């Protein structure tokens, strides 16, 4: 607050500062699309193999062309699944990790099963999910959770256990209870690990929701992909992929933002 009063910034200056800070990313994105367009034109690639970015953006932003695809509705559906999936897998993952690192018995009971289920490709289980859970937003969120919660568990558990032994000895000597050790030493120590796990699970969550929609749904970006794949209508397919990637980037940015907010002393740098 104090800083803001000292340096009253106009919106213009803020925009300039934003560009100065993020010019590399912006250049990269623009360069990517320009390169894509040039390659398509130069090598005369046909649209059913890879569409040009212009065609893709027409499908996305041209009011007439985009009306047929109802992007708002599709994005809202996918976003709900991703948000629910991510929130639940974060909470569930951290909880399971705390329990696992709390007791050896529970760890040896739970860990093999977790690895077991995580090795199984969810796409192979897909028809079963359809039979068991039906279809809609909740089953898709569940698939997202199943795919995304494992990295959070592994990373959190690793962070909880990678505590300085001297510190533990000291606290044990001072009669710190196990609960206190967990809250005051293990958990803060695990924070960089947790955030790294959350970042991994953001993209997995996006993939999970989309895969859920591939299998069975009547809306969402995965549905758009499937639908346009069936019609060999590539522009909406690539538009869908771009929107999916933007959602992934956004969620990742959100986690990074919270990381900087909660552990400002840690320079994780990503």
Partner 1 sequence: MKKIWYVLWVRNRTAVTLVGFLILWQLAVTVFRIQEVFLPSPISALMHLFFRQPDASYLWIKNISATLFEILIGFAVTIFLGIFIAIIVSWSQMSRKFFIPLFIFINSLPIVAIAPIILLWLGYGLYTNVLIAFLVSFFPMVMNTTTGLNSVDEDLLDLVRYHGAKKWQILVKIRFPNSLTYIFSGLKICSTLIVVGVIVGEFVASDKGLGYIIVNSQFTLDTPAIFAALILIAIIGLGLFGLVSFLEKLLMPWQKAANG
Residues of this chain that bind partner 1 (CB under 8 A): 24-25, 28-29, 49-50, 100-101, 107-109, 111-113, 115-125, 127-128, 131, 150-151, 153-155, 157-158, 160-162, 165, 192-193, 195-196, 199-200, 203, 206-207, 210-211, 214, 222, 225, 229, 237, 241, 244-245, 247-249, 252, 266-270
CA distances to 38, 83, 139, 146, 149 from 129, rounded to whole Å, are: 43, 20, 8, 11, 17
Contact 144, 208 (CB under 8 A): yes
Could you give the CA distance from residue 24 to residue 226 in angstroms, rounded to a whole number? 34
Considering the complex, what minimum distance in angstroms separates the CB of residue 131 from partner 1? 6
Measured from the CB atom, the residue of 1 and 122 that comes closer to partner 1 is: 122
Measured from the CB atom, the residue of 62 and 253 that comes closer to partner 1 is: 253
Measured from the CB atom, the residue of 47 and 62 that comes closer to partner 1 is: 47
DSSP 192: H
Sign of CA dihedral 211, 215, 221, 224: positive
DSSP 88: H
Considering the complex, what minimum distance in angstroms separates the CB of residue 8 from partner 1? 29
Considering the complex, what minimum distance in angstroms separates the CB of residue 200 from partner 1? 5
Contact 240, 231 (CB under 8 A): no
CA distances to 3, 47, 96, 112, 241 from 189, rounded to whole Å, are: 31, 51, 17, 25, 37
Considering the complex, what minimum distance in angstroms separates the CB of residue 248 from partner 1? 3
Considering the complex, what minimum distance in angstroms separates the CB of residue 2 from partner 1? 25
Measured from the CB atom, the residue of 137 and 247 that comes closer to partner 1 is: 247
């Amino acid at each position: 607050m104090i800083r803001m009063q000292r340096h009253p910034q106009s919106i213009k200056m803020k925009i300039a500062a934003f560009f100065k800070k993020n010019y590399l990313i912006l250049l990269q994105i623009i360069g990517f699309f320009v390169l894509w367009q040039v390659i398509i034109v130069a090598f005369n690639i046909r649209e059913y193999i890879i569409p040009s970015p212009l065609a893709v953006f027409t499908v996305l932003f041209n009011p007439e062309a985009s009306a047929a695809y109802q992007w708002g509705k599709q994005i809202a559906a996918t976003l709900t699944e991703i948000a629910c999936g991510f929130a639940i897998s974060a909470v569930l993952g951290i909880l399971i990790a705390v329990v696992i690192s709390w007791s050896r018995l529970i760890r040896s009971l739970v860990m093999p099963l977790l690895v077991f289920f995580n090795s199984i490709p969810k796409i192979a289980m897909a028809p079963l999910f359809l039979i068991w859970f039906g279809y809609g937003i909740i089953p898709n969120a569940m698939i997202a959770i199943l795919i995304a919660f494992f990295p959070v568990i592994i990373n959190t558990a690793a962070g909880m256990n990678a505590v300085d032994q001297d510190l533990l000895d000291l606290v044990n000597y001072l009669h710190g209870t196990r609960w206190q050790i967990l809250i005051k030493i293990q958990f803060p120590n695990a924070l960089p690990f947790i955030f790294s796990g959350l970042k991994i699970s953001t993209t997995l969550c996006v993939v999970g929701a989309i895969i859920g929609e591939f299998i069975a749904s009547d809306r969402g970006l995965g549905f758009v992909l499937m639908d346009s794949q069936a019609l060999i209508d590539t522009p909406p397919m690539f538009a869908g992929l771009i929107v999916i990637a933007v959602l992934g980037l956004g969620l990742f940015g959100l986690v990074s933002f919270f990381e900087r907010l909660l552990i400002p002393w840690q320079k994780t740098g990503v």
